[in-house]
């Protein structure tokens, strides 16, 4: 492929061209990003500063909140500032950096959700061996594998995008840099590359989702003979995770498991996995979790005591 590139910056068309809608979106997304920062930081700090960090489920949850913080911070701050900008531009290097980091942290989250499902499988299906299987070394290995998987995924997307020739136009019909919108700007046939993108993002999402379905099918099969009380406890530990999985994977499937094309609805669906899901995750994991509520209360009490002493 001839590698020619006359583009030094891209223009992001954003969510809307109407100023009134942009101002409304600015206020809304600013509130959402503030909620994301507060909620995920609160979960991460509460777990880290309590005995919950010793439990694998909360160990993974702290890293999920941390990955949510990093993931959203690659997209939302740029989106918020662009909503008030007269011209929404991003440099070529900035675009490629955003694409890499977004898919890196997004990939970590996908694999981490799978690791959390494995933890629930062991806890429910093999409770007597849980502490022997889910050791701290095993948990660290899972986190390391998630980071490695996220890197391989994002590096693949990055290579596919960076070697494309861009010779104009330079308008990206999105609010962040992603592979599908960039394929439209490449001045070459992108049919084969589009298939590679689908294989990378779509197949990865599909395989991990199938693994999640199998793990929960095994869990449901295992708990079928439990008493009503034990069944309720077992399912309550999984309900939050299932909700997060559905919120995160549904829009991903719509965008990435299809031929490499862009649709007007892509921006709306992208809002679900870049803003809405990371904002709701702390609420989903804390509202029905007594241990998390107690950890947050202890954190606030500790802060209040320190302020009184000072």
Over residues 83-125, the pLDDT tens digits come to 988 888 999 999 999 999 999 999 999 999 999 989 988 988 8
Give the mean model confidence (pLDDT) for residues 46-60: 88
What integer pLDDT is reported at residue 2 of this predicted model?
A: 43
Of 63 and 222, more confident = 63
Mean residue pLDDT across the chain:
85
What integer pLDDT is reported at residue 4 of this predicted model?
A: 54
Give the mean model confidence (pLDDT) for residues 218-230: 77
Does the domain at 9-300 match CATH 1.20.1070.10? Answer given as yes
pLDDT band (50, 70, 90) for residue 62: very high
pLDDT band (50, 70, 90) for residue 1: very low
149: its two tokens? 């998987």
Q: What is the pLDDT of residues 137-170, one digit of tens each?
A: 999 999 999 999 999 999 999 998 888 888 878 8
Residue 260: pLDDT over 70: no
Residue 126: pLDDT over 50: yes
Residue 241: pLDDT over 70: yes
What integer pLDDT is reported at residue 217 of this predicted model?
A: 85
Residue 56: pLDDT over 50: yes
What integer pLDDT is reported at residue 192 of this predicted model?
A: 83
What integer pLDDT is reported at residue 69 of this predicted model?
A: 94
Residue written as token pair 């996220």: 150
Residues 133, 206: Cα–Cα separation, whole Å:
27
Three state DSSP letters for the chain: CCCCECCCEEEECCCCCCHHHHHHHHHHHHHHHHHHHHHHHHHHHHHHCCHHHHCHHHHHHHHHHHHHHHHHHCCHHHHHHHHCCCCCEEEHHHHHHHHHHHHHHHHHHHHHHHHHHHHHHHHHHCHHHHHHHCCHHHHHHHHHHHHHHHHHHHHHHHHHHHCCCECCCCEECCCCCCHHHHHHHECCCCHHHHHHHHHHHHHHHHHHHHHHHHHHHHHHHHHHHCCHHHHHHHHHHHHHHHHHHHHHHHHHHHHHCCCCCCCCCHHHHHHHHHHHHHHHHHHHHHHCCHHHHHHHHHHHHHHHHHHHHC
Give the range with max mean pLDDT: 13-17, 31-35, 117-121, 186-190. Answer: 31-35
Q: What percent of the chain has pLDDT over 70?
A: 94
What integer pLDDT is reported at residue 309 of this predicted model?
A: 65
What integer pLDDT is reported at residue 229 of this predicted model?
A: 72
What is the pTM for the complete model shown? Answer: 0.88
């Amino acid at each position: 492929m001839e590698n020619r590139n006359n583009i030094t910056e891209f223009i992001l068309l954003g969510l809307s061209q109407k100023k009134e809608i942009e101002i409304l979106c600015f206020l809304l997304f600013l509130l959402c990003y503030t909620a994301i920062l507060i909620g995920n930081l609160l979960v991460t700090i509460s777990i880290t500063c309590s005995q919950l960090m010793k439990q694998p489920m909360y160990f993974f949850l702290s890293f999920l909140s941390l990955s949510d913080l990093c993931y959203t911070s690659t997209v939302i701050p740029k989106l918020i500032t662009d909503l008030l900008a007269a011209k929404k531009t991003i440099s070529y290097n900035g675009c490629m950096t955003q694409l890499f980091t977004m898919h890196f942290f997004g990939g970590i989250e996908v694999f981490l959700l799978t690791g959390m499902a494995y933890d629930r499988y062991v806890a429910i299906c093999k409770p007597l061996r849980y502490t022997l299987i889910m050791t701290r070394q095993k948990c660290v290995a899972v986190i390391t594998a998630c980071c490695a998987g996220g890197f391989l995924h994002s590096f693949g997307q990055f290579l596919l995008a960076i070697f494309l020739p861009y010779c104009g136009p330079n308008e990206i019909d999105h609010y962040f840099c992603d592979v599908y919108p960039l394929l439209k700007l490449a001045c070459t046939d992108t049919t084969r590359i589009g298939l590679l993108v689908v294989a990378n993002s779509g197949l990865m999402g599909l395989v991990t989702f199938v693994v999640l379905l199998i793990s929960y099918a095994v869990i449901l099969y295992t708990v079928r003979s439990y008493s009503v009380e034990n069944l309720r406890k077992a399912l309550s530990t999984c309900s939050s995770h299932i909700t997060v999985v559905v919120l995160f994977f549904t829009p991903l499937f719509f965008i990435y498991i299809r031929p490499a094309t862009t649709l007007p609805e892509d921006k709306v669906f992208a809002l679900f996995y870049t803003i809405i899901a990371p904002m709701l995750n702390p609420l989903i994991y804390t509202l029905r979790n007594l241990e998390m509520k107690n950890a947050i209360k202890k954190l606030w009490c500790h802060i209040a005591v320190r302020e009184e002493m000072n």
